[in-house]
Every structure is written in C-alpha cells, then in structure tokens.
Chains A and B, each alone.
Chain A
C-alpha cells in the first residue's frame, strides 16, 4: 500500500513539470478570450484555470494523502472537506464539463490548431489535459478518504473493511447501514444494488456477530462519518463525470486511437507525447516505454519479464494478458496505435472504424498467441526390416574388382596335384616356391592352357597417355634441333678400348670384381690413386 502511494506521488512529480509549463499557455488562451470581450466570465475563468493548475502543482509538494495521514488528531477537525483540494472545485468543474461537452463539434480551425503545433492547442484540449491530471488527484483523494473512513468506522464494524474492499462500495454501505447493526437485515434490499447476494449474507452474519461488542458513536461523530462518505461518493461521481468527458472528447480528438487502447491510455499517451501530431510522429518502438515510472530502479517494476511497464502496459488491451505474451502484444498494439494516430491526424476516419478494425486484428493476433501449441503425437518408428544395402557401381566397379582379383595362373599355382611331386623353383631370396598345378594345369601338362588375365596389367589413364605422347613429340623436336651429337651421348665418349675389353673380360669371368661394376667404382679409383702416390714416393726416395 505504502509503496503504491509513493509511486503515485512520484508519478505526479514527474508529470507536474509538464503542467507547470502549460500553465502560462492556459492564461494566454484565456487572455485571448478576454480580448474578445467576455470580461465578466474572464476573471472567473482565469481563477478556475489557475486554481486547477495550482492544485495540480501543489499536490506534488504537499501530497494530500500523506497530509491527512500525518494529521495528529483527526477527530478534532470539524470540517473534513478541508482535506480535499478538489472538493471546492467540483461545482465549477461540473459547469465546465457541461460547457465543453455541449459543444457539438470543434470547428475546423480549432482542429487545425490542435494538429499544427503543441504551442497553439485549443482551450478545450488544454482542459482535457488538465482534467486528466486531475483524475489522478481525485483517485488519490478517494484513497485518502477511504483510509479516514476506515479509521473512524473501525469501532463500529471493523470487519466491513475486509469484506468490502472497494472504497466506493464501502462508503455506500456505510451510508446505508450507518451504525444500525441490529436491524441490518432490513437493509438487505438496498445493499443488493451494491454488492452480490452472497456478500450481503456474509456482511449480515459478521454484523450480527459484531453486535455484542459494538461501540455506539454519538451523533456528531456519526455525522462526520456520513459526511466523509458523501464527500467520497461525490468525488467518485465527479471522477466518473470526468472520465466520461474525457472519453467523449477523446473520441472526437483521436477516435481511432481511443478505439484501440481506450480513452484513459489515449489521454496518457497524448499527454506524454504532447500532442496528437507528436504522437503520430513517435516511432512505435518508443511507445511502450512512455510512462514508465522509474527507469533507473529495477526493483519497482512489477513484472519480471516485461521491462516496459508504461501506459501501454496498463492499458485495457494488455493489462489482463499473461506475462509471456505481453511483450509481443505490446509490440503489435503500439504499431497499430501509431497507425491509428496518423489516421486521426489526417482526420480521414472520424467515426473510429479503422481503430475498431485494428482492435479486431489485435484481438485475433492475441488469440493466436494465446492458443497452446498443438500436441504432436509420437511419430511411429519404421519397421526394423533389414534391407540389403545397394552395391555401389556397375560395370566400372566390376572391372575394378577384376583388376585386383587373383589370376587363374596364381590360382592354379596354389593347387597341388595329389600323389605327385610338385615342381618348384628357387627365387632370388633362395626360397623354394612351389609351382603347384600351374605347370600341369590339372593334368593337361602345358602352361599355355591357362589363359593369362589381360586386365590385371598396369594401365595408364587417357590423360597420362596423352601427356606422354606430347612429351615424346617435344623430345623429338629437341633432338632434331640439337643435332647428331646429342642423339647418342655414348657415341662421342672417348673410351680406352683396352680397359673396356678388360672390364668385359672380368665381368664375363667367374671371379667377381668391382672394376667395371656400376656401384663400387669409388674403391677402385682410390686404389689407383694410392698406387700412383706410392710411385711418386718412390720417385722422391730415389731422388733423395
């Protein structure tokens, strides 16, 4: 409760600056009126407007609620009306509302001025803005009087405040039953108009139980309670009047916007942005953040998932939705509100039908968002039938396998003839390798019988063949260019014919020698050198 009050106060604090700025403008407009010649009403008018703006301004400073609550001795005060700042203004307010609501339509110029600039807003528009501020104060005062009423009436019937939570109904019931708990049954019919039958039953039961410990107030005290009730109800009445007035006026100013979000939110948005024009120019993404009470503190926001708890969050369309779709709904609504504001600005749809169609669209979208996801039944598993895997490749794959398969000759070699000695050869490593039936071919006796696989040989790709051919051709051309000597390098090497002979002899001979062999030429060379060196030494020795 206390938190809420503080928030309210804070809210008025933030808005008061706007109203203060507007104050001189109001005076301006009234002065204009004065020029037109209505001197007698002018004074009255001026005082009323200034009173109103002062009231709004002062409210932020004092805070009527806290003033009442901090009052040291409530019972000592004779006239309770002093607490209310709005109460003395009520008759004037009523007069103004009548005055403005009687005007059939704003004339074209007025409409233009309201569109053109926030500086030249019409007087009526000003009044609407002020009245909107006022409704907050009245709400606050109702709460304050309710609090006062509760503290005073507690001695008579303490349970009533918990049974009837609504301050208006509470005041009405007190006005009906006063402190006549004994005959409470007789007020049955009257109470039926206010609360439900079950509630009445509960109230009667509680009242009869209370009867024993009831403290009977004297007439004076009771009268003050009744007065309090009357003030509260009157305040409520003027609030209703004001809200009706605002609704009526706003349907004129912004019929499409108010069709979507309702008159209260519309007025809040208009006040926050300043005018219909600036509302229409506001990007829709900014709309949700209008009217957030405290941007800095995180603790104050009531919702966990939604950060933007502004005017739109508290509007009728969004208020009752579950948290998880609020964000997306606000996005949808703010887009449509801005569109509607533009339509209103153009004045192309004064009956608000576009707003209603927008609202219908929004409702449909909300319905869609609210529908639970469809339950998908379990997908049946496929029957676990083992299908033979398809083999890859056809002719090409077969050829590839043929190339690597065992040849017929090798297969024959692996077989052995029964009861016969196998032919065998010794390979280069000195191992004996059996030839099996490869020679005999199952008794037919000739090797030619077994056909040799032709497709197991090494192959070249077409590209490779092509490349080799090219290479050969180019080599031929080079050879022709270089002449005869390059063709055969060996033919022009000067070789000692005798040594060649000897090496041939040695190769042919049984004794293996390193001379002339391809590999071990280095050794022989060194030997020769050594021999040469020795000769030289010998020569040196002989010289010495």
Chain B
C-alpha cells in the first residue's frame, strides 16, 4: 500500500532532479521492485514515517526495472538484495556505517519505524555538519544473515 502513496521517480532524469532539487532536506530514494514482498514491507514502513520526517527528509521510490540507469553505477539489483535505500544531501551521496560492510546503502530489512527514523536523523545531523559518512546509531552486523 505504501508504494501507492509515495512519489515515484519515473525516469533517470526525475531521479537526478529529485536529488538536486532539495536544498535543505535529506533525499531518500528506495530502489527496488514494488511487487516483491520485502520491498512492500519497507514501502509500508517508509510511508508510515514519511509524514513524521517531512521536516528534514523526503522519500522517493524508484523501480529498478523501469529505471535501470543507476543499476550499474549504484550496484543495484544484486542477488539477495530485497531493496536498496540510498541517502542524498545537496546532491551528495551520504554514507552510513551500519556495520554490514556496505556503507553506501541500506539494503536490509528494518521493520521498526523508530529505528529507521533514528538512522535518518543521524544521517541528517552528519550531513548538516558536512560529513560524508556517519555511524548508524545501531549496529546491524549481526542482524543481517550472510548469504
């Protein structure tokens, strides 16, 4: 349901514009396929928090089948990756150390809304201070099972 209400980015140009246009807020882009189960769940979570975080972040969705432009650049569509959430601030890619080894993106399930809000807040704080990499408030090295 969440994917219906959140704004979709239809082309690569739209993705670029979304990242460029925001001056003061974090841009969160979810790359993935709406029809897959895990993606649906995270869409729901994102939709539920979207209203809460609207003061400092905005959420967009992007279907990697319809917009394959970034698949190679951002290494999307890896096997075993249900979805990819990426953070941008003023056209800069924000990295976050989740403890998973991949600081570039959030590619594991978080079903707790507050946890996700905490991560977004931390990234926003770091971005405001001009940092490119922040450390996630919780460590996910043990959460994610290696495939």
Using a CB–CB cutoff of 8 Å, the interface residues on chain A facing chain B are 377-386
Contacts and interface: CB of A to CB of B under 8 A. Distances in A.
Contacts of B54: 380
Contacts of B38: none
**4 nearest A-B residue pairs (beta carbon):** A383-B56, A378-B51, A384-B121, A383-B55
Nearest to A379: B52
A384 B134 CA distance: 14
Contact of B51 (A380, A382, A384, A386): A380
Contacts of B117: 381
Interface residues of B, number: 12
Which of A377, A382, A383, A386 lies at the interface centre, i.e. has the most chain B CB atoms within 10 A of its CB?
A383
A80 B128 CA distance: 95
Interface in B1-27: none
B53 A381 contact: yes
Contacts of A377: 51
Q: Chain B interface secondary structure, helix, strand, loop or mixed?
A: loop
21 contacts: A377-B51, A378-B51, A378-B52, A379-B52, A380-B51, A380-B52, A380-B55, A381-B52, A381-B53, A381-B55, A381-B117, A382-B55, A383-B55, A383-B56, A383-B124, A384-B56, A384-B121, A384-B124, A385-B128, A386-B125, A386-B128
Given A384-B121, A385-B125, A386-B128, 14 more contacts: A378-B52, A379-B52, A380-B51, A380-B52, A380-B53, A381-B52, A381-B53, A381-B55, A381-B56, A382-B55, A383-B55, A384-B56, A384-B124, A384-B125
A386 B121 CA distance: 11
Contacts of B52: 378-381
A236 to B, nearest CB: 55
A522 to B, nearest CB: 71
A378 B52 CA distance: 6
Nearest to B120: A384
Nearest to A385: B128
Nearest to A383: B56
Contacts of A382: 55
Contacts of A379: 52
Nearest to B123: A384
A395 B3 CA distance: 58
Contacts of B129: 386
Contacts of B121: 381, 384
Nearest to B57: A383
Nearest to A377: B51
B139 to A, nearest CB: 20
B4 to A, nearest CB: 17
Which of A377, A381, A385 lies at the interface centre, i.e. has the most chain B CB atoms within 10 A of its CB?
A381
A159 B53 CA distance: 64
A388 to B, nearest CB: 13
A385 B125 CA distance: 6
Contacts of A384: 56, 121, 124-125
A184 B80 CA distance: 71
Interface string B103-127: 0000000000000010001001100
Contacts of B53: 380-381
Nearest to A381: B52
Interface string B71-86: 0000000000000000
Nearest to A382: B55
A465 B52 CA distance: 59
A378 B117 CA distance: 14
Which of A377, A378, A384, A386 lies at the interface centre, i.e. has the most chain B CB atoms within 10 A of its CB?
A384
A423 B128 CA distance: 53
Contacts of A381: 52-53, 55-56, 117, 121
A380 to B, nearest CB: 5
A383 B25 CA distance: 9
B82 to A, nearest CB: 25
A35 B143 CA distance: 103
A382 B117 CA distance: 12
A377 B52 CA distance: 9
Contacts of A378: 51-52
Interface in B34-86: 51-56
A95 B50 CA distance: 77
Contacts of A386: 125, 128-129
A222 to B, nearest CB: 64
A52 B124 CA distance: 88
A380 B120 CA distance: 14
Nearest to B128: A385
